[in-house]
Every structure is written in structure tokens, then in C-alpha cells.
Amino acid sequence: MAKISFLLCSVLVLLAISEARNAPSITTINDSPSNLTKIYTKICDPQRFNDLGLDMDYFTYCDSSLSYGVRVKDLIDRMTLMEKVQQIGDTAYGVPRIGLAKYEWWSEALHGVSKVGQLNSKATFFDDVVPGATSFPCPITTTASFNQTLWKTIGQVVSTEARAMYNLGHAGLTFWSPNINVVRDPRWGRTLETPGEDPFVVGTYAANYVRGLQDIEGLESTDDPNSRPVKVAACCKHYAAYDVDSWLGVDRTTYDALVTEQDMLETFQKPFEMCVKEGDVMSVMCSFNRINGIPACADQKLLKDTLRGEWDLHGYIVSDCDSIEVMVDNQKWLHDEPEDAVSQAMKAGLDLDCGNYYTNYADKAVMQGKISEKDIDEALKNLYIVLMRLGFFDGSSKYESLGKQDVCSDENIELATQAAREGMVLLKNLNGTLPLNTDEIKTIAVVGPHANATTAMIGNYEGIPCKYTSPIDGFSKYAEVQYAMGCGDIMCKNASLIFPAMQAAKNADATVIVAGIDLSIEAESRDRLDLRVPGFQAQLITQVAQVAKGPVILVIMSGGGVDISFARDSDNVKGIVWAGYPGEEGGQAIADVIFGKYNPGGRLPLTWHEGSYADMLPMTSMSLRPVDSLGYPGRTYKFFNGSTVFPFGSGLSYTTFAYSLTSADKNLNIQLNKFQHCRDLNYTDDTFKPPCPAILTSDLQCDDNNLEFEVKVTNNGTVDGSEVVMVYWVPPKGIVEGPIKQVIGFQKVFLPAGGSQKVKFQLNACKSFGLVNYRGYHLLPSGGHSVMIGDNLLSFAVGINFQPA
């Protein structure tokens, strides 16, 4: 998300340490340009109002005995129209005459408190007071752990650091993270920001990370969700069907994503539905692009009808920055004037404009009769109830003691290291070469363009990390390091530095090549044109591996997959580890995995395609299923059945695991009534068609239709390790519109050598065995379904039968 125009911004809510009041942290509010900055813990502080020449008792919105709804109505009713429109941009300018302070809405926390947005809003910033915050691995790497507890714990630590920075005047309370767009195409530049290509996995990550950010212990749910206190406010973005940034002249600001209702429901919207329903996220951000001709931020069906209506969002809807301006200037949608675009976005349900169109034109839209002032009131209600829930008005005693000691703590840095370890994916281990033995490896050559990586490890939407541990630093704790760059930079435009790397490898007991890509190749506004390692990197890897004295291990840093099939197939390359973008402690985590201090257990959250895949179809073809008429293959593991470099879910361990089924529900018989009607499905010609192919899930009592099974997982090896128990659904044979397979559940378990554990799963039949047909219906098919564990390590049949009335 990028801010296109520079806004006139001033610091709205700052925080500082108060020695005079002996309080560990307090809020600083600049109430007007003419006043001296005063220090207060909250908006509704009697002394603050006294300093403004106001009596707080007069303002009902500060009466904490009343409901948030009543208080916010009082606040809104006191504003003039012009004052109201000044509060619905990402800089809310405040109304000093009624005691309302300014607020900056834009902060980011994708994988740690971020500095992105600092230049524009100043809501979150770093300096001598707060020089940095813990930088966790990028989401694509963290997702590879498939550890839901880890995902939530990282969210909890990030929000603690955010709240501490808020107390120190260095952060806001509303964070526009996470990015939960599904990676439909492997060339997408923002893959590193996302949880991968599976909608269920993406949605599960979103719900856990958001819960970690937002939830206050003991208040995870309340009778009135709109009054539930929260720690910070998260935002799931970018809604929806957004996964093209800049590809061969196609730009996200003008791109029209032509999407079928089938793909929209089962892929593009599903993670957002899970984020709202299971994560109770407080905000959703609509995207720049159009969807079937309509700008996402002006689509009432997407926003008001679905997000706020069907899914019951408890919070606000915000635009990607300058999206309304883009509608007018870039998309020229309906040849709108600014007031038209503002009215269409607001009527669609957009509460907050990250930009200045609402601020500059909403009052004129009212005067022209294109929206009512009541529409603005509704947006303000959604916004200020969120700030009430965050303690912006009343303070938050639970978090007021947080301070600098809670940012970049040793515990937080260790969690970042552990997250990087868990996100490592072992993709090749020829003849059990790994882990390396410190008794045998005294010298190690660490070569390649990422061998001394620091900033490259933290990816984008980054903050300023507490510190860096590069791969060289990490390996130096295990052996004497001989370093050679191998390439001048990640583009590796010439081969002049390959020979010194070869010389280092000739003289070392082992060699680690750290290669891959970085933000110069994949990033926001930078989609890839091919899937291969850049420049002379392939030559570097091949030649170093040919001459090395000891075993050669290849480590790849990237967000998206890269075609390293030449290294996968080479006997000279003994091991391959994918590190993603592993965060500030990435170098330590890489070394810990390669030398066996940590047994890797990560799995790829997306398919690594061969380079030829990018030549088979344009990035702009939005269909997930194959387009036979054009010769386009399917997308993601769910619909692509061709050869790959490494398939979705790949990942090895230094130990071995065995599975056995201990119990399972293998049949579900559903008695239909006269109101439930059978629906047709498309089948291949040679497939037997059941008498009742499917039933609408909306016609079923889905909560009553659950199946349980239990598997026993045993560590058969000699070292402790973690295993991801991945559960797939395979639809009944012959259903044309079904996926090849689809993740329906997963758990990560740690098992000591020789140990075993029973793992139980409960599956909702409608959610786990249902599909969306081309007409946009959610259906539960009858027939013989299959539940598959891992790469067909274990499977069993489940029969679903409908019994007519």
C-alpha cells in the first residue's frame, strides 16, 4: 500500500514519559497549533479540558458510565459539517473547541512495528527514544511453520511493543496489517507479505495473528462485540481479488480483475470472511483495483452488503491510500468528478479515506445532494467507537506501565529467532548430509549475494530492527568462516566474483551458498517477469558446487518460489534450505538449522513452479481453474497438476514420522426434508452420477454435521522434531469443478525421539467437504470423499449420503 500524494499532516496523538507525575507512560496531545503541548494520559482527562478552557462534565462523550454508542453520538452531534469531514481522512484533524484531539490512523505492523507511513503521517516513528522494534520473519516465512500458536504469539508481542511505543509517543493504536491476499500467481511481487496460496491457510493465519494483536486476555468475546475492549486494532487487507501490482505495463491502479463468482467466493473472499468471523478484526481495507468493472472501494455488495452485513464486521472500512483519487484520475470511472467518487464510496460503506478526498470533497458532496450528512455521521460512528474500544478516550490501565523495556527485549528477540527457525524449510538432504557435525566441520565457506545479508532479511513493511545477525555472524558461532561474495549484488550481472567463491569452497570443510532474490526483484509495485535465479547466480551455484572440498548446502532467501531445479537435481548440491525472509535473527536461525541445533519442520506454503510456468499464461488471467480454450494451466496446488520444482507442503526433517489412524467417522447420513432440494453438479462422462448430487449448504444445519478423526503420530528417528500434520480433502471422483485436493486442517506437534502423540481433528462437513460451483452456489456433494494426511501418507474414505424426505 503506497500513499500517492503527500498529505498535510501534523502529529495528532503523541506519547511521552512523565517524571513529574511519576507515571511510566502518558499521552501527549497537541490540541491546537497555538497551544503548548500538554501531557495527558487520555483524551477525557479533566485537567486537559481545563487547560483548553473547557469543562469536561459538559461533554457527555467523556462520561465513561454510558455506552460507547451514546458517547459517540454526543461527540458527533457537537460537530459542524466541516468539522466532521476533517475527521474521515487518515489524518483526523480533531476539534479543539469540543476537546477532540487529532489522531493519525495509519500505522503498520505486518511482522513487527513498521516505519512505513512514518514520512507521511508520523503516527509511528523511531528515534533515540525508541531506536527499533523486534523484526520478525516476513509472513510467508512465518506461515511455513504452520504453527498457529506461534502466529498468535507473534501478534501478542508485536502489539505489546506497539502499545509500549504508543505510551512513549511513537506509535498509533490502529495498524493496517496483515496482508491476506491469496498468492494466485507466483510472479506477484508482494508474495513475501502474505501467508501463501491456500485460502484456508491464509484465513487461519489471519485469524490467529489478528487475535494476537487485538485480544485482551479474558475479553476475547463479549455480549456486545462493538464494546469489546482491544489492545490495538488490526486491519485485514487488501479486499479483494488484488494480486497484480506492476506487470508488463499493467498497473494495480487501473487493473480490472475479471473474476468469476466461483473464484471470488472460494478463493479471494474466503480469507477475509475468516478474518472477520473468526478473528473479529476491527478493520478491513479495500483495494485499488476494479473487480468486474467496479472499483473495490465503491462496491456496495463487497463492503456494506457483505463485510458489514453478511459477515457482521465490528469496526471500520478503510481505503487503500488514495483509492478514491485513483478512481477519478487513473480509472476515470464513470467520468466522475471528485464529489461523485466520494459519494459512491461512502454509500458503498467506506468509512475512512486514506487520502484527502473525503476531507476535501465530502462537504461539497453533501451540499450538492449526492450524500447526506447522516452518511458521514455513520462513518464517524464506526471510527470513533473503535477509538473508544482502544482506550483512546478513557485510557487503558492494563497497558499504561508498558515502556521502552518492553521493546526489543531479550525474550522478544529470541521469539523472532525461534520463528525464523520454525519457518525454515528443508527441501533436499542428499544421503543425510545435514545436519553438519561441528566435530568434523572446522572451517566453512559462506558465499553468495546473501551471505552477509542484513536489511534483505527483513523484507518490506519493515521497521528498524533491534539488531541484525547475518548468515556470516550465525555460522561464525559454529566454525571459522571464509566469506566470498560470489556476486556483486543480487542481480549478479557478471561472473567476475565467482572464482574467489570457488577458491573459498576448495579450502573449506563445508560450503554454504546463500542466494535468491530480494526487494529489487519482488516487492510492492514490482512483479516478477520470470521465476529463475537472476543473472549469474546459477553459474555461481553450479561452479562452486563442482569444486568444493566438502558438502555444499544451498540456502535460498525469497518470498516467492524460484526455479532451482538444476540444484535440486545436482548430486554436488547436498542440501537445500528455504529461509524466506527470516527477519533480524535470520542468520542465526539458518546456522542453527544447518548445524542441527534446531531440527527443521517447516513446509512450503506455496508451490514452487518451474520457470516455464511463467511462459504458459499471463499474470492477468484471473481464473484459478485451467482455461482449456486458451491452453492456460490451473493455478495453485488446488488446480495445477503439472510438474513443479517443489510442491505445496514440501518439507523434510532430520527424523522420520509415521502415522496410524486410531479412530474416524467415515459416514455422514443426512435426512432431507421437503424444503431441501437436490442440486446438480458437473461430472466427467465416465463417472456414475448419484441420485442426489448435492445440497445447498445454506439449506443444511451445518453446525450439526461434524466428523471427527484421530491419528497417532510417531517419531521413529533418533532426534527430537516437529511435524506438521496436514489434512487434505479430495472430492468424490469425477466432479469437474472440484479441486485436486484442498487443505481442511493442520496441526503442528513436537515429538521427542521415539515419542508419539494422538492428534484429533473435528471437521465441519459443509466447510471441509463443500465446494462452490460455477453458478456461485455453496454445495455439499454426496458420494465418496477422501481425507488425506500429508502427501498421501495416510488416507481414508468418508461417505456422505442424502436420504430424501
Bridge partner list, 787: 729, 796
The answer to whether the beta carbons of residues 660 and 794 sit under 8 Å apart is yes
Q: Which of 584, 486, 476 is nearest to 541 (CA)?
A: 486
Q: Which of 140, 127, 773 is nearest to 407 (CA)?
A: 127
Cα–Cα distance for residue pair 759/657, rounded to 1 Å = 13
Q: E-strand spans in 453-551? A: 480-484, 510-516
Output b/e per residue, 68-89; b: 16+ Cβ within 10 A.
beebbbbbbebbeeebbbbbbb
Q: How far is CA 180 from CA 139, 285, 614, 661, 782, in A?
A: 10, 11, 23, 33, 32
Radius of gyration over every alpha carbon of the chain, rounded to an integer in angstroms:
27
Amino acid in the structure at residue 588: Q
Catalytic residues: 320
Helix residue ranges per DSSP H, 299-452: 323-329, 338-348, 357-367, 373-389, 410-423
Cα–Cα distance for residue pair 16/31, rounded to 1 Å = 15
- Laid out side by side, the sheet with 657-664 consists of 657-664, 706-715, 756-764
The answer to whether the beta carbons of residues 316 and 341 sit under 8 Å apart is no
CB atoms closer than 10 angstroms to residue 501: 28
Residues 21, 23, 29, 31, Cα dihedral to 10°: -20
Kindly report the three-state secondary structure assignment for every residue of 743-801.
EEEEEEEEECCCCEEEEEEEEEHHHHHCEECCCCCEEEECEEEEEEECCCCEEEEEEEE
The answer to whether the beta carbons of residues 522 and 192 sit under 8 Å apart is yes
Amino acid in the structure at residue 595: F
Cα–Cα distance for residue pair 467/409, rounded to 1 Å = 11
The separation between the first and the last C-alpha atoms of the chain, rounded to the nearest angstrom, is 53
Amino acid in the structure at residue 700: L
The answer to whether the beta carbons of residues 637 and 197 sit under 8 Å apart is yes
Bridge partner list, 728: 743, 788
Cα–Cα distance for residue pair 175/303, rounded to 1 Å = 20
| Residue that is written with C-alpha cell 461434524 in the block | 706
Cα–Cα distance for residue pair 72/50, rounded to 1 Å = 21
Is 344 buried (19+), middle (13-18) or exposed (0-12) by CB count in 10 A?
Answer: buried
The count of C-alpha atoms lying within 13 angstroms of the C-alpha of 577, restricted to the half-sphere facing its C-beta, is: 33
Bridge partner list, 261: none
Is 137 buried (19+), middle (13-18) or exposed (0-12) by CB count in 10 A?
Answer: buried
- Laid out side by side, the sheet with 742-751 consists of 667-671, 794-803, 783-789, 721-730, 742-751
Output b/e per residue, 33-56; b: 16+ Cβ within 10 A.
eeeeeebbbbbbbeebbeebebeb
Cα–Cα distance for residue pair 87/381, rounded to 1 Å = 11
Q: Which of 123, 126, 125, 136 is nearest to 175 (CA)?
A: 123
Query: What is the number of residues in the chain?
Result: 805
